[in-house]
């Protein structure tokens, strides 16, 4: 048995998982730090649940190894791993009360009665369910059931908490509430947690680090702000938020500023730090795509546009009021672009000409 440094609570090394001829995880490497809340984020079918099941021991890897607290658990069954799990669908025992649901795992672990009562009371208090010990799952709302499921996972004081889309079946308001609650709980208890979701907002708002997965591979592992502002691949950029895309050709590179000639001959600059893709370099003559997020584009009248390094004439084609912001479509360089802005100017009207501006630090570049 190999003992690794205990700095990481979980390590996944070169893991490959196949179902028949279908390779669903293709060389996964991942390290999860002690006390960290790490999210696996990606579209349906990318291999998130499979990764979680490999950590839990419900599946075995075809290649590679899984370590928990430095111990190689690749061939160790789930019941010998010290884990708490919460799934997307309510996994409470329907014929047991809330108290009995929490008691179940403690009985298996032969925790003595007075200690058990204390731990159940504390777990229910943590998820704000005290007083409902004698209810059956059918007597609880969806959000309450997921709270109990979380309490049941926590009451055994696991080394590792695994949550597979636990909020997906709840309505938006409840999802927001529980999101914040799980984050608070996790920090309070300090339990190392892996949270699976396909919802980018959920991942960004909850995680210490986000793992973006695509087609059985990891695209990027970074903090939420880096994932959003400095995506390393085109997939991450597009999956995480909305985007505007322009096509162009690299004209020259000077002092880490890349000048790109757009389709109509117009030139803009891009920071060399903002190159995506595996090479992270480009040369004059390269065909490239430029990406910019809608909220990084500014709308201004001609007089106001001075603070932006680059601006260009555009025509407004559509305006949608979203409450906290406006979503404005415009035609820029013959293309439709979207701008998201909290500001409103009465002179902005459909058909009106405006200036659209941006800063080179907000544009991401990828070679075609
Ligand atoms: N038990 C299984 N047998 C065969 N194929 C499976 C099995 N479980 C998952 N898959 C396939 O593996 C891929 C990844 O699935 P999964 O890990 O559940 O994705 P995610 O959780 O990201 O939606 C999918 O293509 C899925 O159809
Ligand atoms: Mg899944």
Domain ranges of the chain: 8-237, 242-367
Percentage of the residues of the chain whose pLDDT score is greater than 90? 68
Indicate the top mutation candidate among 47, 194, 195 to test ligand 1's pocket, ranked by most ligand atoms within 8 A of CB.
47
311's CB contacts (< 8 A; 6+ apart) are 298, 300, 305, 355, 356, 357, 358
Q: CB of 44 closer than 6 A to ligand 1?
A: yes
In degrees to the nearest 10, what's the CA dihedral of 333, 254, 276, 39?
A: -110
The Cβ-side half-sphere exposure at 275, using a 13 Å CA radius, reads 21
Q: At what angle do helices 172-189 and 142-155 cross, to 10 degrees?
A: 20
Residue 5 has pLDDT above 50, yes or no: no
Q: How far apart are CA 204 and CA 201, in angstroms?
A: 5
Mean pLDDT of 192-214: 96
Find the 197 Cα to ligand 2 centroid distance in Å: 8
Ligand 1, atom 2, residue with closest C-alpha:
19
Q: Is 175 in the pocket of ligand 1 (CB under 6 A)?
A: no
**C-beta 49 within 6 A of ligand 1:** yes
Task: Specify the pLDDT at position 6.
Answer: 46
φ, ψ of residue 105 in degrees (nearest 5): -65, -30
* pLDDT above 80 for 51: yes
**Burial readout 180-204 (b: 16 or more C-beta within 10 A, e: otherwise):** ebbbebbeeeebbbbbbbbbbebbb
Q: Which token pair is 222?
A: 């970074």
CATH of region 8-237: 3.40.50.300
Contacts of 261-267 with C-beta under 8 Å, sequence gap 24+, read 262/290, 262/333, 263/333, 263/334, 264/333, 264/334, 266/312, 266/333
Per-residue confidence band for 155, with pLDDT thresholds at 50, 70 and 90: very high
* Ligand 1 atom closest to residue 43's alpha carbon, by position in its atom list: 22
Q: In this structure, which ligand is nearest to the CA of 48?
A: 1
Q: Give the per-residue pLDDT at 276.
A: 95
CATH of 242-367, one of 2.40.50.100, 3.40.50.300, 3.40.50.9100, 1.10.8.60: 2.40.50.100
- Please compute the mean of the pLDDT values over residues 221-227 and round it to a whole number: 97
The model's pLDDT over 92-139, given as tens digits with 9 standing for 90+, comes to 999 999 999 999 999 988 999 999 999 999 999 988 899 999 999 999
């Amino acid at each position: 048995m190999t003992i690794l440094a205990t700095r990481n609570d979980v390590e996944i090394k070169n893991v490959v998982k196949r179902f028949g001829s279908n390779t669903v995880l293709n060389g996964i490497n991942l390290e999860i730090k002690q006390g960290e809340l790490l999210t696996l984020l990606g579209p349906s079918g990318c291999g998130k649940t499979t990764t979680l099941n490999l950590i839990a021991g419900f599946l075995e890897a075809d290649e590679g190894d899984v370590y928990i607290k430095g111990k190689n658990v690749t061939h160790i069954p789930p019941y010998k791993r010290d884990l708490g799990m919460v799934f997307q669908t309510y996994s409470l025992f329907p014929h047991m009360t809330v108290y009995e649901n929490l008691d179940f795992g403690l009985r298996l672990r032969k925790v003595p009665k007075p200690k058990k009562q204390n731990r159940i009371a504390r777990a229910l208090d943590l998820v704000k369910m005290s007083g409902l010990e004698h209810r059956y799952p059918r007597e609880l709302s969806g959000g309450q059931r997921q709270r109990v499921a979380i309490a049941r996972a926590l009451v055994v004081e696991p080394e590792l908490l695994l949550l597979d889309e636990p909020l997906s079946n709840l309505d938006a308001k409840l999802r927001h509430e529980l999101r914040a609650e799980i984050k608070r709980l996790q920090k309070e208890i300090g339990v190392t947690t892996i949270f699976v979701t396909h919802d980018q907002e959920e991942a960004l708002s909850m995680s210490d680090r986000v793992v973006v997965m695509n087609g059985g591979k990891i695209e990027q592992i970074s903090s939420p702000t880096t994932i959003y502002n400095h995506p390393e691949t085109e997939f991450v950029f597009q999956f995480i938020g909305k985007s505007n895309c322009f096509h162009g050709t690299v004209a020259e590179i000077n002092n880490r500023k890349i000048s790109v000639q757009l389709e109509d001959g117009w030139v803009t600059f891009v920071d060399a730090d903002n190159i995506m893709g595996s090479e992270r370099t480009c040369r004059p003559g390269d065909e490239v795509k430029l990406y910019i997020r809608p909220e990084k584009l500014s709308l201004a009248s001609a007089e106001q546009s001075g603070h932006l390094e680059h601006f260009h004439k555009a025509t407004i084609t559509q305006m949608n009021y979203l409450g906290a912001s406006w979503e404005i479509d415009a035609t820029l360089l013959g293309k439709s672009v979207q701008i998201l802005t909290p500001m409103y100017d009465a002179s902005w009207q459909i058909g009106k000409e405006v200036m659209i501006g941006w800063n080179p630090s907000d544009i991401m570049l990828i070679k075609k």
